[in-house]
Structure 1
C-alpha cells in the first residue's frame, strides 16, 4: 500500500467515523436532557459505583474544575447525588440516583436501536468483518496511547 493510499484510507475512515458519531450522538440523547459527556459520567458511575469527582475527572481526562460543572448540572437535574463517604466523612462521593439509572438505560436503549438501524445495511458476513476490523483498530488505539493503555469506563 502506498503512502497516498494510506492517506486516503485514513481520511475516509476519519470522515466516516465523524459522520457516524455526529449522527448517533445527538440522536441518542434527544429529549432525555443529557449531553454526551454527562451520559459518559452516568455510565462511569454505573460501572464504578459511587466515586470521587477527581476519579471521574481522571476517567474522562478533564480537569477537576470541568467535572465539577458537569456534576453540578447532573445534580440539578436529579441524576446524581453528592454524599459523604461512610468511611471518611470528609470525602464527598458522587453516585447515581434512580432517575439517573433510568435515563442511562433509556439512552443505552436508544443508542442500541440507532446503531442496529445503521448496521442493518450490512450483510451478516460484512457485519462480522466490519466488527472484527473495528475492534482490531480500537485495540491498537488502546495499546498505543502514549505507550500505556488508557483506563476507561
Structure 2
C-alpha cells in the first residue's frame, strides 16, 4: 500500500513520525520540530485528530497549553507506512548491481557524515 492509499500527506506522516518517540508534546514543540507555524501545525493536527491518529489534551493548569500525543491507531498506521516504504525501496534496490549498490552505500554514508557535521 502506498502513502496515497492510506490517505496521509507527507506533512501528516512527518507529524506522526515526530510524535512517535515522544509521549506527549505541546503544540509549540511540535510546530518547532516540524519547522512550521503553529497555525499550519494546528491544521495538520486537526486532520489527524479527526482520524483518531493523535489526541489533544489541554493542560489542567493552563488551557492555553495544548498537548498532543500519538494514539495506538496512529502508531499502527505509521508503522504500516514506514514498513511499506521500506518494502518499496528494497524492491527497487534489487534491480541494482553490486557496483551501483556499493556506490549508493558509500554515498549515503558520506551524506550522513556531512549532515552530522552541519552546525545546529
TM over 0.5, yes or no?
A: yes
Q: Which structure 2 residues correspond to residues 58-97 of structure 1 after superposition, within 5 A?
A: 58-85=32-59, 88=61, 90=63, 91-97=65-71
- Compare CA radii of gyration and give the structure with the larger one: 1
TM-score (norm 1): 0.68
TM-score (norm 2): 0.85
Deviation at 1:85, TM superposition (A): 4.5
Q: Which has the higher helix share?
A: 1
RMSD of aligned Cα (Å): 2.1
Offset from partner CA, 1:52-95 (integer Å, 9 cap, x none)? 11111111111111101100111111110001347x55432101
Q: How many residues align?
A: 119
Aligned equivalent of 2:109: 135
Which of 61, 68, 75 aligns to 1:101? It is 75
Deviation at 1:128, TM superposition (A): 3.7
Q: Which structure 2 residues correspond to residues 104-115 of structure 1 after superposition, within 5 A?
A: 104-115=78-89
Q: Which runs of 5+ in 2 are unaligned?
A: none
Q: Does 1:46 align with 2:20?
A: yes
Deviation at 1:131, TM superposition (A): 2.1
1:120 & 1:85 partners in 2: Cα distance?
A: 49
